[in-house]
Amino acid sequence: MDKDTDKKLKSRNIKPTAMRELVLKVLTEQKTAISLPELEDKFVYADKSTLYRTLKTFEDKKLIHSIDDGSGAIRYAVCQDTCECNPDDLHVHFYCTSCKQTFCLNEISVPEINLPSGFSLKSVNMVVKGICINCR
């Protein structure tokens, strides 16, 4: 139904089903990253495994990226339009230990690291923990 949502799916080569449109819409609404269990709560009538596979598809197609914030559940957030999830696209994430929300700090890209020789870099997960602006 939603033209924009539909376009976004197509632009990432994802067949736009009703389920996927709904999931993408919810993901887009979020101000902070959302986990599978949290998503389940928003879709009382959709199955866990369907949501799971939807997230996997979205991630494979680089519509969303995952963040391991150490909370026990992986969280997901919609990628920037230009994002290809290359090392240069990577940004820092912030996990608030008070409200347990995870923020994409899209403006802050992960600093370059000089690895010891012999080590090659594929990606980086950088999560800063502390207190967010809403909780202080």
The residue ranges that bind DNA (CB under 7 A) are: 15, 17-20, 35-37, 45-50, 52-54, 56, 72-74
Say how many CA atoms lie within 13 Å of 59 toward its Cβ: 15
Q: Which does 85 bind (CB under 5 to 8 A by kind): Zn ion, DNA, its own copies, none?
A: none
Other Cβ atoms within 10 Å of 127 Cβ, number: 14
Asked if 121 is part of the footprint of its own copies (rule: CB under 8 A), the reply reads yes
- Nearest alpha carbon to residue 94 among 50, 64, 132: 132
Asked if 135 is part of the footprint of Zn ion (rule: CB under 5 A), the reply reads yes
Structural tokens at position 6: 């539909």
Asked if 59 is part of the footprint of its own copies (rule: CB under 8 A), the reply reads no
Give the span between the Cα atoms of 64 and 53, in whole angstroms: 13
Q: How far is the CB of 98 from its own copies (least distance, A)?
A: 10
Q: In angstroms, what is the C-alpha Rg of the chain?
A: 16
Asked if 92 is part of the footprint of Mn ion (rule: CB under 5 A), the reply reads no
Q: Which does 98 bind (CB under 5 to 8 A by kind): Mn ion, Zn ion, DNA, none?
A: Zn ion
Smaller CB distance to DNA: residue 7 or 53? Answer: 53
- For helices 48-60 and 18-29, angle between their N-to-C axes, nearest 10 degrees: 70
Q: Which residues bind its own copies (CB under 8 A)?
A: 68, 70, 92, 94, 97, 105, 107-108, 110-111, 113-133, 136
